[in-house]
Amino acid sequence: MGAGGGRGRYESRSWAPDFTRSGRLGGAGTYRTFIPEPIADFEPELSASTSALSERAGAAVRDLNASAVGLRPLEGLARQLLRSEALASSAIEGLRLSHRKLARAEVEGKGGNFKALEVLANTGAMEEAVRIGSAGGDLTVDEILAIHRELAIVPPLDRIAGRLREEQGWIGGDSPPDAEYVGPSHEHVPGLVADLCRFMSRDDLSPVAQAAIAHAQLETIHPFGDGNGRVGRCLIHVLLRRRGTAPNYVPPVSLVLGADKDAYIAGLENFRADKVDRWVAQFARAVEAAAAHAADFSARVTDLQAEWTKRAEPMRADAAARAIIDDLPSFPFITAAIVEQLTGRSRVAAINGLEHLARAGILSRRRNQRRGDSWEAKQLFTLLDRFESAVRLTCYPGILGEKPDFLREKA
């Protein structure tokens, strides 16, 4: 048994490549696996400042959700923030896609675009996380497996969908001896994941601190052959929804964490090194920043819809065009068939509404004889791009830049 190492211990092992299997092999050698300590009964020793920061971050998320309750486009904003979260979480893993391409893939079909399909699967995994968190009750291993199953729909990831790994896992390098991090050997994984679920079922911790610790612990366990980071970030949604902190939507925390990937990885390493206070403080700052940016984005989308409504007048109170404006945050890339489904209008009324908004300069029509015409709200995509750029520039105050005006005004 190896020596202790922060929040766990090391075990020394030998690696011999299996040339009968495809994939990374590397050379033979020795390596050390890290076996994290159980956390079901973990009582983190947080400084007064970190505890206060965690509570403040939780309050920011609650305020964001409360302020949006009266907004008509709440569902659309929730969908859009979830897409931002899925895109950012995927980008951390090297899967980069624009909002526009993701929206088109949702509407036009994925076809052979495996990147779009994989990001859409990440959105599905986060929707599953929201569903699990909303259900309440104790968390189970099967529910974590269900999140992975939603994520792992693209080859070759689909071969291990919803299954805990049964071989050694590691991060970086071609084999454990040259890896950046080697997780616990597979026989430890089921017990550690069950222990993680018991920790996630507690109600005696700050929700933000609990989400920070649960996320870092799953990353440390590395229980799946692939997709660990994305599943770990889904747990943030499970916990903040389950604890009632985010009953309507969770701000895009991954967008903040991913803006400085090196700092994010260093934070996870701090957790493993038993510098839990430092990691929780970093995570809480990310949650607070994400909530502030999401609140600003929510207000800007509402203002944009008011501008569209004014520009599209005159409209009857029951006009299809008015209903379409309400649904554009959910479907910035939209078709007549989607309008029919969402509004209950006829195909003719749907097309008339879309064309009315196109004439007003709100939508741009894309003609496609094979798939049918579609329309897109370019201003909303511009707003999304500006939203994400602002997050990247300001998510770590004092590191990546000064707070933007709207954050300084709230300080």
For 279-308, how does the pLDDT look when each residue is reduced to its tens digit (9 = 90+)?
A: 999 999 999 999 998 888 888 988 999 999
For residue 395, the model assigns a pLDDT of 59
Q: What does the alpha-carbon distance between residue 148 and residue 122 come to, in Å, rounded to a whole number?
A: 9
Domain-located, residue 348: no
Q: What are phi and psi of 177, to 5 degrees?
A: -60, -25
Report the DSSP beta bridge partners of residue 11: 33
Split at pLDDT 50, 70, 90, the class of 410 is: very low
Domain-located, residue 323: no
Residue position matching structure tokens 């599943």: 231
Determine contact, residues 46/209, Cβ cutoff 8 Å: yes
Q: What does the alpha-carbon distance between residue 58 and residue 35 come to, in Å, rounded to a whole number?
A: 30
Domain-located, residue 319: no
Determine contact, residues 121/154, Cβ cutoff 8 Å: yes
Q: Tell me, what CATH number does 22's domain have?
A: 1.10.3290.10
Q: What is the pLDDT of residues 125-150, one digit of tens each?
A: 999 999 999 999 999 999 999 999 99
Determine contact, residues 152/162, Cβ cutoff 8 Å: yes
For residue 284, the model assigns a pLDDT of 96
Q: Is the pLDDT of residue 2 over 50?
A: no
Split at pLDDT 50, 70, 90, the class of 112 is: low
On the CB side of 228, CA atoms within 13 Å amount to 21
Which of residues 248 and 35 earns the better pLDDT score?
Answer: 35
For residue 405, the model assigns a pLDDT of 43
Q: What are phi and psi of 316, to 5 degrees?
A: -70, 160
Split at pLDDT 50, 70, 90, the class of 95 is: confident
Determine contact, residues 70/249, Cβ cutoff 8 Å: no
Report the DSSP beta bridge partners of residue 12: 32
Domain-located, residue 27: yes
pLDDT above 90 as % of the chain: 61
Q: What is the pLDDT of residues 5-53, one digit of tens each?
A: 689 999 999 998 766 554 556 678 999 999 999 999 999 999 999 999 9
Domain-located, residue 22: yes
When mean pLDDT is compared across 85-94, 173-182, 365-374, 386-395, the lowest value belongs to 386-395
Greatest Cα-to-Cα distance within the chain, rounded to the nearest angstrom: 76
Per the structure block, which two tokens stand in for 150? 């939603």
Domain-located, residue 343: no
Number of domains in the chain: 1
Q: Tell me the angle at which helices 207-221 and 228-242 cross, rounded to the nearest 10 degrees.
A: 160
Domain-located, residue 59: no
Domain-located, residue 297: no
Q: What does the alpha-carbon distance between residue 78 and residue 71 come to, in Å, rounded to a whole number?
A: 11
For residue 103, the model assigns a pLDDT of 85
Average pLDDT, the chain: 88
Range of 227's domain?
8-50+87-248+255-285
